[in-house]
Structure 1
Amino acid sequence: MPSTGLDPRLLLLSPDDNVVVVRQRLRAGDRVAVGGREVTLFGDVPLGHKLAFRPIGPGDKVLKYGAPIGSATAAIAQGEHVHVHNLQSDYTPTYTLDEARAKHGDAA
């Protein structure tokens, strides 16, 4: 683990961010170092998706590139996958996601 406490498979884009970007596909059961803490992933995380760099509370802004990209819809633990199941865009209507969930289940 590098001295920054961040797994080399993850990328912190700005020191203000509370998420990191996955640089290669991660699998359920993989252990990764996030913010100096090692966590075990509960599910697969695709390339380019986000993990919480630190805990994020419900309603908190999610920061990427040092800018807000949306709000957490639930508590997100450090190292947890951050995606449409726990993140709502503050800029793009989510009605299409709601329709997709209704049609295909909550497998977003």
Structure 2
Amino acid sequence: MEKLYKINDDDNVYVLKEPVVSGEIIEINGNPIKIPYDLGRGHKIAACNIQIGEKVIKFGMKIGSATKKIQLGEHVHLHNLKSDYLPTYSKDERFDNK
């Protein structure tokens, strides 16, 4: 796991410290995981199975919810994660208050 790190024990994703290439095997929690595609530094990989609707936690913060089931070692990104961020104002409101 020298290529992966978690900052908080509650995190359910690891962050890549360096790029990985397609076909590379990374061990996660004693499980060998074959990475199916190239991923750059900073990308997230599931540290456990994550269920649909479950919060994705990175650096101890909820960064969104899983939109589909995510398997251990799977890339976590826009294709299976949605932001839960709700802005408190709209773009139009922001510019109307000058």
TM-score by length of 1: 0.76
- Report sequence identity in percent: 43
RMSD of aligned residue pairs (Cα, Å)? 1.3
Gap runs ≥5 in structure 2: 88-98
Shift of 1:45: 1.3
What pairs with 1:15-94 in structure 2 (closer than 5 Å)? Answer: 15-91=9-85
- Count of matched residue pairs: 87
After TM superposition, the runs of 4+ consecutive aligned structure 1 residues lying more than 6 A away are none
Gap runs ≥5 in structure 1: 1-6, 94-108
Q: Which residue of 2 aligns with 1:106?
A: none
Q: Which residue of 2 aligns with 1:101?
A: none
Which residue identity does 2:30 align to in structure 1? G
Is 1:12–2:3 an aligned residue pair?
no
